[in-house]
Amino acid sequence: MIKTIAKPAERKIVGCGECRSTCQSACKTSCTVGNQSCERITREQKIEEQK
């Protein structure tokens, strides 16, 4: 048995640079890109939720 838990969302746009600076998030010692979310996807999700 093997089943998919998660896979990356399809991206309309990549490399837009909208993302926050990695070191601004929480720790300033071991912040990593992987602990961030895409600002664009997050914003679009918020808009969807508000509809």
* Contact call for residue 17 and another protein (CB under 8 A): yes
Q: Verify binding: residue 33, another protein, rule CB under 8 A.
A: yes
- Gap between the Cα atoms of 35 and 10, Å rounded: 19
43 near another protein, rule: CB under 8 A: no
Among 12, 50, 51, 20, CA closest to 38: 20
Q: Does 2 bind another protein (CB under 8 A)?
A: yes
Question: At 23, phi and psi to the nearest 5?
Answer: -80, 5
- The verdict on 35 binding another protein (CB under 8 A) reads yes
- Could you list the residues that contact another protein (CB under 8 A)? 1-9, 11, 14-38, 41-42, 45
